[in-house]
Structure formats: C-alpha cells, structure tokens
C-alpha cells in the first residue's frame, strides 16, 4: 500500500454508482445538507463515478432534476443548491476495466484524503478496490465505504471482505448500515447506559420479552431486480434488525471507542442460539403480500409488481423468535419482525417487563404489564406503559403512558442517517459501522435459516397488503402467551 506523502487538507468523496438511486435519493441530499450547514470544508469535492458517457454538465442536469425532491422543502435553498453543485465533478468509468480508471486518476491527481463510497452492486466491490489500488489511488489515509447488502450469505460476505482487505486495512473500511446512523438508534445507547434506572431491570427475569418491529407500508417499488433475489431476511434482518437487537441486548462497552462497542455487539451475535432445522420450522414465519390497500389506495400483489417473476417465492415479510444464550437474557424470547406493505410505516422496540409476583390490587381486566415502548420512526418517542389509579371512588387501575417526544426534546437540528454517517467517515469515526467479524457473525446466524427454508421447501404465506402480515406471525407470539404490540 502506498503511503501518503503528507496529510493534506483537501477531501474528495468519490461515489461509485454516482447516478444510481442511492446517490440521488440519499447521498447527494445528505451531502447537500452537510454543505448547507457548513460541515464540508471549502476544498471538499464530490466526484461522481458512473457508466454513462456524460460530462459533468450532464450529470449536474441529472442531479438537479432528481435530487431536490429528496431534500426537505424547508431546507432547500436554490442559491445554496447551486453552490453545492459546484463541488460536483462527474467521471465516466467502466469499473470492470482497469484502463478505464485512468479518467479517475487524472481527476484525482492532487494528493488528498479520499473517501470511496461504493454504492454499486456488491459483486463489483473487489474489482473497484483492485483497480483503485493499481491506479495508485489508495494510500494509508484513504477510506472505503461499503454499502449493504454485503454478500448474499456467509461465503460471499467472506470473500468480499477478504478481497477488499487486500487493498484497505480494517480501520479504513466503513461497512454502512444506515440504521446505525439514525438519531433514535444512537439514542438507544444513551437510554440504556446513560440512565441509572434501567440497568438493574434490563435483564432476565425482570424482562419477559422483547419485540423489534421494522414495518414498511411501501412495496418493492422499482427494486424488484435486487429485492427478488434477496428477500426480507437478507435485506432487513441480517443487518438492520440484528443491529437493533445488538444495541438492546449488549453489555455496556468499556468505552465508546469503535472496537469496544463492536466487541460487545459481536458477543451478542455470537450468543444467538443457532437455528437448527426444527427451530427454523417452529420459530420463523415467511410471508409475501397479496393485493390489498395502502393508505386507502388499492395496491398490487408482490407477484404482480414490475420485474417480479410470477412464481417468485421471495419473502416480503419475516417474523422470528430467537434466544440469546447468556445469563442476562436466559429464557427471554426476542421477536423480530419486518415486512413491506404492512399497515403503517413503524419501527419500534417493545420491552415487556415481567408480571408482578404479587399485587395487592390483584389482576383486573385493565391491568397491563409495564412496557417500555421505544418508537424509532416515524415518531421518535419513548413511552413507559404503567398503571395508575382511575379517578373516582374505589381503587381501580387503568393503564397510562408516560411519554417523551424526542423531536420536541431539543431545538437542535436532527440530521438524517446518511448525513451523520458520511460525517463520521470524514472524521474517521468507526463506531457506527460494522466490523468484519460482526458482519460475518450475523451471516453465520442467518445462513441456517436460509438453508432451513430451502430444505423445508418453505413457501411464503400470503398476507394482504395493508395488514400486519400472515396470521402465523401472531401465532408465533401466542405460543409464549404474548402478542404483537398492535394486538394489545
Ligand atoms: C434498506 C432496504 O436498507 O432499508 C430497503 O434495502 C428498506 O428495502 C430501507 O426500504 C428502509 O429504510 P428506512 O430508513 O426507510 O427505514
């Protein structure tokens, strides 16, 4: 690896897949926000790399048409946008051809800190890294950001990791999971480790169950090409839901240093009870949406979406029951659930506390267990469900929620996940990115589920768009005498 001549103040953010969906929907709007809020130094350039035989002016026209719709209207200012566009340069590169990288070398002639954002299909990652290296564009301070999905299983994830590692050291690699950039997800750590009241209760037997839901109301949209080969388990559970699980279940790290935090998350992943075939059969539910309604409008079945093969068995919904083999979580069931075309867009974590061993008030129809309800999106709130006295004569109880609206709790601007994570990359902060062993541990647990489904020839269960998934998902919880939150 070539060493840098000297630290240089300049910064190039080089985006491969510069004209792709992720770039114009997320990355450029996030960089615009950073620019608008003076977070990018004057000498920061954004170098978009794409296959299209465009000049920079064509790319600017493309971005100008597509990106502003993804910037909050109250944050969009035409003059600021025009000054942002001046940072952009477009380079046409065929990433499969080493010779084609000459165009990039000439644009990147001056040494500076370079962040390579690989927003392309993962099978191109190793080629891009190899060609960057041979073109002399990788030095000890370069960073590479790898978008998910990183592989389709343990074997492919390992081989991508191995190949990228030939050109970048682990501390130069930023494996992104945008859920780790969400304000509410980062806040989970503060909630757990910055408040004295939770720690003594955050364990078995005080906690009876944990449920984590990431529900989407959107369908597959225009992404069938990718999604049909992936499905909800690879697209959402392997990364976003397991990362949320790690933050809920991990021990307090010894510091906020990236490796200390990631060591603790790794321990959770390694403690997940492995899924044998019988567990896959009993503890997992796959679903696929049929025609129904979303926001009051009729919507098509997954099988009728553009680009989906008519006999596809890809799951658009998954629910899982899992256990963590350690003392803190002994016998506490964790339930994960995610799906497209569900009733609403809602991500939440519900911590259900154990029933009281004894209560002088006895059990009444209105009594409910204490629950901590952490809403990640669209609302950002924390609520504690508790029992209070119903006003009036007698001593009757009724449930109420003690609530904290996180959006109202500070006047400060809440940056979007991609903006926050891009700034972390620029500043060299790895805490909110996945380490190689963490990613591989997640796949190690996921692979047997995929294999189990294949072996069982498991067909996804139909569920109407606009519902909460197949009935089997409720049955999965009912076995433990529990129910999903919306069923309470
Ligand atoms: C992405 C998945 O990682 O996350 C998409 O590939 C999904 O399928 C998206 O729609 C959800 O992200 P968010 O931030 O809208 O919850």
- Digit-coded pLDDT (tens) for 120-129: 999 999 999 9
Q: What is the CATH number of the domain that holds 304?
A: 3.30.360.10
Whether the bond into 205 is cis, omega within 30 of 0 = yes
pLDDT in tens, 452-486: 999 999 899 999 999 999 999 999 999 999 999 98
Q: Whose CA is nearest to atom 6 of ligand 1?
A: 235
Q: Is the CB of 177 under 6 A from ligand 1?
A: no
Asked if residue 163 is part of any domain, the answer here is: no
Query: 142 and 186: one domain?
Result: no
Domain count, the chain: 2
Q: Whose CA is nearest to atom 8 of ligand 1?
A: 235
Asked if residue 425 is part of any domain, the answer here is: no
Tokens for 374, please give them.
């952490």
Per-residue pLDDT, 414 = 87
Asked if residue 136 is part of any domain, the answer here is: yes
Rounded Cα–Cα distance for residues 409 and 191 (Å): 14
Q: Provide the mean pLDDT of the chain.
A: 94
Assess contact for 67 and 103: CB atoms under 8 A. no
Average pLDDT rounded to a whole number, residues 122-143:
95
- How many angstroms is it from 210 CA to the middle of ligand 1? 22
Nearest atom in ligand 1 to 218's CA: 10
With residues binned 3-state (H G I as helix, E B as strand, rest as coil), the percentages for the chain, rounded to 5, are 40, 20, 40
Asked if residue 429 is part of any domain, the answer here is: no
Query: 185 and 142: one domain?
Result: no
Which residues lie closer than 8 Å to 477 by C-beta, 6 or more apart? Answer: 211, 321, 335, 483, 484
pLDDT of 395 > 50? The answer is yes
Asked if residue 155 is part of any domain, the answer here is: no
pLDDT of 366 > 90? The answer is no
The residue out of 132, 147, 162 marking a domain boundary is 147
Q: Is the CB of 216 under 6 A from ligand 1?
A: yes
pLDDT band at 408 (very low <50, low <70, confident <90, very high): confident
pLDDT in tens, 79-114: 999 999 999 999 999 999 999 999 999 999 888 999
> pTM (2 decimals)?
0.94
Query: 271 and 410: one domain?
Result: yes
Q: What is the CATH number of the domain that holds 61?
A: 3.40.50.720
Nearest atom in ligand 1 to 182's CA: 14
Domain that holds residue 382: 180-415+434-487
């Amino acid at each position: 690896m070539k060493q840098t001549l000297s630290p240089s103040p300049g910064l190039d953010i080089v985006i491969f897949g510069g004209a792709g969906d992720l770039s114009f929907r997320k990355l450029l709007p996030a960089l615009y926000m950073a620019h608008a809020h003076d977070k990018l130094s004057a000498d920061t350039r954004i170098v978009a790399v794409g296959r299209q035989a465009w000049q920079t002016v064509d790319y600017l026209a493309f971005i100008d048409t597509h990106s502003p719709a993804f910037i909050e209207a109250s944050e969009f200012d035409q003059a600021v946008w025009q000054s942002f566009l001046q940072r952009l340069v477009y380079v046409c590169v065929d990433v499969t051809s080493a010779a084609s990288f000459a165009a990039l070398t000439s644009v990147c002639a001056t040494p500076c800190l370079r962040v390579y954002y690989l927003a392309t299909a993962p099978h191109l990652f190793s080629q891009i890294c190899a060609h960057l290296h041979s073109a002399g564009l990788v030095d000890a301070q370069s960073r590479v950001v790898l978008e998910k999905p990183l592989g389709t299983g343990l074997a492919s994830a390992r081989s991508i990791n191995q190949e990228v590692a030939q050109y970048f050291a682990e501390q130069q690699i930023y494996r992104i999971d945008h859920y780790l950039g969400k304000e509410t997800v980062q806040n989970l750590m503060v909630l757990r480790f910055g408040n004295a009241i939770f720690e003594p209760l955050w364990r078995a037997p005080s906690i009876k169950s944990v449920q984590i839901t990431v529900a989407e109301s959107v369908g597959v949209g225009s992404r069938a090409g990718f999604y049909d080969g992936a499905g909800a388990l690879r697209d959402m559970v392997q990364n976003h839901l397991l990362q949320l699980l790690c933050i809920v279940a991990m021990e307090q790290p010894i510091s906020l240093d990236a490796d200390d935090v990631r060591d603790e998350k790794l321990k959770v992943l390694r403690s997940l009870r492995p899924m044998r075939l019988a567990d896959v059969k009993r503890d997992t539910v796959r679903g696929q949406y049929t025609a129904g309604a979303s926001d009051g409008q009729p919507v098509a079945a997954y099988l009728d979406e553009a680009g989906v093969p008519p006999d596809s068995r890809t799951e658009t919904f998954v629910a899982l029951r899992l256990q963590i083999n350690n003392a803190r979580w002994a016998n506490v069931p964790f339930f994960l659930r995610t799906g497209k075309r569900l009733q609403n867009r809602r991500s939440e974590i519900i911590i259900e506390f154990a029933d009281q061993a004894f209560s002088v008030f006895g059990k009444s129809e209105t009594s409910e267990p204490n629950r901590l309800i952490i809403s990640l999106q669209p609302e950002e709130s924390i609520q504690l469900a508790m029992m209070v006295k119903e006003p009036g004569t007698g001593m009757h109880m009724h449930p109420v929620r003690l609530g904290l609206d996180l959006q109202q709790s500070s006047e400060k601007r809440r940056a979007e996940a991609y903006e926050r994570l891009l700034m972390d990359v620029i500043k060299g902060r790895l805490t909110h990115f996945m380490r190689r062993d963490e990613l591989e541990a997640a796949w190690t647990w996921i692979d047997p589920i995929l294999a189990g489904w294949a072996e069982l020839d498991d067909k996804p269960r139909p569920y109407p768009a606009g519902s909460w998934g197949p009935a089997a998902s409720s049955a999965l919880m009912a076995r433990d005498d529990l129910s999903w939150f919306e069923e309470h």
